[in-house]
A and B are shown apart, each in its own frame.
Chain A
Amino acid sequence: MALLLQVLANGILLGGLYALMALGLALVWGVLNIVNLAHGAFIMLGAYASYYLFTLLHLDPFAALPLCMLALFLFGYLLQRHVLNLIVRAPMFNTLLVTFGLDVVLTYLAQIVFSADFRVVNPGYAGANFALAGVTLPLVRALAFAVALVLTFALWLLLAHTRLGRAVRACAHNLVAARLYGVEPRTVYALTFGLGAALAGAAGDLYGVVSQFNPYIGDALTAKSFAISIIGGLENPLGVVVGGLFLGILESLTSLYVGPTYTDVASFGVLVLVLIVRPKGLLGRAT
């Protein structure tokens, strides 16, 4: 029983990390209809930003969070404004090709600039933990979970209750009507993509405290984020949290009851099931 509780707690905290990773991908996908295959590479860049801020400037990764987000926001904004906007209304295949190319370029540039050596961000509290009702909770994962919830809530507020958020949603729902009401899609798209990149930056910032990273972590992260977005649905940022938690708990229980070698089988198996049974995600309207 104690073990089951511990494994459930592990799963929930892992789910928080997953949600943080997938949030940006789901936003960009939902609004721009771009499946950003370079999303994992953005997370990788965020991790390196956090690493250098920590090792060179001794800036704590949690303090560096806004900086990483800002850096990735600017990067994402410029990228959408000057590159991706050119193909945003082209068939989806083109956007896949372009973001795939971007992923390759970023990954190999990262190897040239940062080398293939693996890195970690190792502040003094990286291994700290606390006990709660007999369950050991790693401090950093608990904090990352909180960050994921705060960012999701902030994103939800932004989308639901601000003028910018309404413009973003309007572009996703009906582009012509949005333009008639004076929304400038070029800017809105760039802001949205920048926001998605900023969320990847936040995930990357904390990634290095939890795990090792190197220029090649991106693809696996993109795949996982992709699965979470589909499972959770794209309509609502809260769906991503649900998707992340679902996957985190599922993988942890699979590891406990079936074996740790089958975690990917379970998570991608569920992805296929969701696509068949509820193609709009667990929280999406059933079709």
Chain B
Amino acid sequence: MKRLLCYGIVALGLVEPALAEQTITLGASVQETGALANTGRYYRDGYEFAVQRINDRGGVKVGGEHYRLALKIFDNQSDVNLSVRQYTQLLTQDKVNFLLGPFASDYALADSSVAEKYEVPMIEGGGASDQIFSRGYKYIFGTLPVASRYFESTVEVLTKLDPAPKTVALVYADDAFDVAVAKGTRERLQNGGFKIAQDERYSSNTSDFSSLISQTKASAPDVVLVAGHETEALNFIRQSKSLDFSPKLYAFTVGVPTADFRHALGADANYAFGMTSWLPSAALKDDYFSNAEIFAGDYRKQFGYDPDYHAASAVADVETFAKAIEAAGTLDPKKVRDAIAQVDFESLYGRIQFSAAGQINLPQTVVQVQNDSLVPIYGHKGFINKPRYPMPAWDKRQ
């Protein structure tokens, strides 16, 4: 046993210097297991895919020398407290160079404090809540659109529909992200002259919406806007059907763009509106993956499922580090931080340029499920396709 241990130590000694040679390690803690594993995988796979591709293209050049990117990922088991400990470990014990973010606002909110404390930049593509960026932190950057503006484009659509909807019910989960979405949406609706028929907060991970739906049905709004998690959106639609509730339009912050969601609901997914900050279009050029369409194909080939905006956002995070480190010409966290604040480039995800608070500005494209497939409806340039509106009653559908 002792001898084995000696061999082990010798072997480690031999491997260590080889690994330490010219690598930049990015550390992250993501949800590989637990309730959020379904979305967490986009970040794990997105980070891996981007690191692999950047290395294939010669890695990162720092002051004339070539560095390879390496990735150290922990599984936080969908536990916020564990993720905070893991980020602390990444910086204090594993001594990674920079941090990539977790999925979901609650996590990013807690984990960014670790980055701030140790003054190491974190770029995260999984947390959109305004709260993350409103604390004056200098070391956190985010590549999701601002939460309070998630429904901005949807509300614009509402003002352009015929017959014009007048009353809106706002239903949202009680976590950092959804509360921020609701706050922004409420203001937008009031400014747009809509009457808010109902404004209800429900607890995250609710699986029974029957009473909430009955209440909403009783107040008979034209439109229902739901800010919640994918599983909740799914239950909301199914239970709306079983309680025979169909407003003229309903829209969801998440779920609608993912293939899983439409697959689970089948024909019941039709007419649901949603939003996405990213569609795999060839018009989105990228230095490493040529364009978003090719990226989506390659990603599917490697991982066996389609990427959505979470994955694209994750890839953009890694690319941002590559660009910023090259621009800084050093691995010094403070200088790299300043370089990140200055980046401005086109990526497969969109234009990456951070506001003073550290978040990018990306418009949401409104999408709708029509005949079982996802159709883009409205972008920053106006209508792309005709929305199906008003939604027919459940028993009037084919």
- Does B22 count as interface, using CB distance less than 8 angstroms? no
B236, chain A: closest CB distance, angstroms: 10
- Cα of A165 to Cα of B42 in the assembled complex, Å: 51
Stretch at the interface among B238-246, B316-324, B357-365, B367-375: B238-246
Q: Is the CB of B35 within 8 A of A260?
A: no
B242/A118 in contact, CB under 8 A: no
Let me know if A7 and B242 touch, CB within 8 A. Answer: no
Q: From known contacts A3-B218, A138-B243, infer whether A122 and B266 are also in contact, taking CB-CB under 8 Å.
A: yes
Are A14 and B243 neighbours in the complex by a CB distance under 8 Å?
no
A41 smallest CB distance to B (angstroms): 14
Q: Which of B81-89, B131-139, B150-158, B209-217 contacts A (4 or more CB under 8 A)?
A: B209-217
A122 to B200, CA, bound (A): 28
Docked Cα-Cα span, A6 to B210, in Å, equals: 9
Q: Flag if B260 contacts A118 (CB, 8 Å).
A: yes
Give every chain A residue within 8 A of B190 (Cβ-Cβ): none
The digit string for B204-225, where 1 denotes a CB below 8 A from any CB of A, is 0111111110110010000000
Task: Give bound CA distance, A119 to B260, whole Å.
Answer: 9
Q: Which residues of A contact B203 (CB under 8 A)?
A: 260-264
- Mask: chain B, 225-255; 1 = CB below 8 Å from A; 0 = not: 0000011001100110111100000000000
The one of B33, B210, B234 in contact with A10, judged by C-beta atoms closer than 8 angstroms, is: B210
Contact of A255 among B211, B238, B243, B268 (CB under 8 A): B211
What is the bound-complex CA distance between A52 and B17, given in angstroms?
50
User: Please, which residues of chain A bring their CB within 8 A of the CB of B265?
Assistant: 120, 122
* Residues of chain B contacted by A3 (CB below 8 angstroms): 214-215, 218
CA distance A59 to B347 in the complex (A): 48
Does A216 make an interface contact (CB < 8 A)?
yes
| Interchain CB contact under 8 A, B201 and A214 | no
A141 contacts B242, CB within 8 Å? yes
Q: Does B202 contact A (CB under 8 A)?
A: yes
**Given A13-B210, A138-B242, A261-B174: A256 touches B264 (CB 8 Å cut-off):** no
Say whether B214 contacts A10, CB under 8 Å. Answer: yes
B242 touches A139 (CB 8 A): yes
A11/B211 in contact, CB under 8 A: yes
Contact B264 A119 (CB under 8 A): yes
Q: Inside 8 A of A13's CB, which chain B residues have their CB? A: 210
Contact A212/B33 with A14-B208, A260-B200 known, Cβ cut-off 8 Å:
no
Task: Annotate B16-41 by CB proximity to A: 1 below 8 A, 0 otherwise.
Answer: 00000000000000000111011001
Which residues of the partner chain B approach A108 to less than 8 Å between Cβ atoms? Answer: 33
> Which parts of A100-119 form the interface with B (CB within 8 Å)?
108, 111, 116-119
- Interface presence of B394 (CB below 8 A): yes
Q: A120-B238, A127-B238 are in contact. Are A214 and B231 (CB under 8 A)?
A: yes
Partner of A116, one of B38, B215, B238, B394: B38
Answer whether residue A140 sits at the interface, using C-beta atoms and an 8 A cutoff.
yes
Whether the Cβ atoms of B200 and A7 lie closer than 8 Å is no
Q: In whole angstroms, how far apart are the Cα atoms of A116 and B231 in the complex?
A: 12
**Complex formed: what's the CA distance from A7 to B234 in Å?**
21
Number of A interface residues at 8 Å Cβ cutoff, please give it: 42
Task: Look across to chain B and name the residue whose beta carbon is closest to the beta carbon of A263.
Answer: B203
Q: Are B260 and A10 in contact (CB under 8 A)?
A: no
A121 to B240, CA, bound (A): 16
A103 to B: closest C-beta gap in Å:
13
Which A residue's beta carbon lies closest to that of B210? A10
Q: Count CB-based A-B contacts (< 8 Å).
A: 113
How many angstroms from the CA of A7 to the CA of B210 in the assembled complex? 8
A261 to B209, CA, bound (A): 11
Taking the nearest CB of chain A, how far is it from the CB of B282, in angstroms? 29
Q: Shortest Cβ distance from A11 into chain B, in angstroms?
A: 7
The answer to whether A216 and B34 have CB atoms under 8 Å apart is yes
Q: Tell me, rounded to whole Å, the shortest Cβ–Cβ distance linking B255 to chain A.
A: 10
- Report chain A residues within 8 Å CB of B33: 108, 111, 116
A187 contacts the other chain (CB 8 A): no
Q: Which residue of A lies closest to B37 (CB)?
A: A116
Q: Which residue of A lies closest to B78 (CB)?
A: A216
* Across-interface contacts of A2 in B (CB, < 8 A): 218
In chain B between 153 and 201, which residues have their CB closer than 8 angstroms to a CB of chain A? 174, 200-201
Of the candidates B38, B218, B241, the one whose C-beta lies within 8 Å of that of A117 is B38
Instruction: Indicate if the CB atoms of A136 and B231 lie closer than 8 Å.
Output: no
Docked-complex contact A212 and B234, CB < 8 angstroms = yes
Q: Is the CB of A7 within 8 A of B238?
A: no
With A and B bound together, what is the CA distance between A128 and B266 in angstroms?
A: 15
Q: Which residue of B lies closest to A111 (CB)?
A: B33
Report A209-225 CB contacts with B as 1/0, cut-off 8 Å. Answer: 01110101100100000
Chain B CB within 8 A of A129 CB: yes
CB neighbours of A86 from chain B (8 A)? none
Q: Would you call A126 an interface residue if the criterion is a C-beta within 8 Å of the partner chain's C-beta atoms? A: yes
Contacts of B206 in A (CB 8 A): 260, 263
Say yes or no: A127 contacts B268, CB within 8 Å. yes
CA of A138 to CA of B38, assembled, Å: 29
Known pairs A14-B208, A252-B211, A259-B201; A120 contacts B37 (CB<8 A): no
Instruction: With CB as the reference atom, state the residue of chain A lying closest to B209.
Output: A260
Once the chains bind, are B244 and A129 in contact (CB under 8 Å)? yes
The residue in A118, A141, A251 that gathers the most chain B C-beta atoms within 10 A of its C-beta is: A118
Which residues of chain B are within 8 angstroms of A120 by Cβ–Cβ distance? 234, 238, 264-265
| Contact assessment for A220 and B205 in the assembled complex, using a CB-CB cutoff below 8 Å | yes
Q: Which one of A128, A217, A262 contacts B242 once the chains associate, using CB atoms below 8 Å? A: A128
Could you list which residues of chain B lie within 8 angstroms of chain A, going by C-beta atoms? 33-35, 37-38, 41, 78, 174, 200-203, 205-212, 214-215, 218, 230-231, 234-235, 238-239, 241-244, 260, 264-266, 268, 394
Starting from the known contacts A138-B239, A260-B200, A264-B203, 18 additional A-B residue pairs (CB-CB under 8 Å) come to A3-B215, A6-B218, A7-B211, A11-B211, A14-B210, A108-B33, A111-B33, A118-B231, A120-B234, A122-B268, A126-B241, A139-B242, A211-B207, A212-B207, A212-B238, A212-B264, A260-B201, A260-B206
Q: Report 23 cross-chain contacts, Cβ distance below 8 Å, ordered by A residue.
A: A6-B218, A7-B214, A10-B210, A14-B210, A108-B33, A111-B37, A118-B230, A120-B238, A127-B241, A127-B394, A140-B242, A141-B210, A211-B207, A211-B208, A211-B238, A212-B238, A214-B231, A252-B210, A255-B212, A256-B215, A259-B201, A261-B201, A263-B203
Q: Which 6 A-B pairs have the closest CB atoms?
A: A127-B241, A138-B242, A116-B37, A260-B202, A255-B211, A10-B210
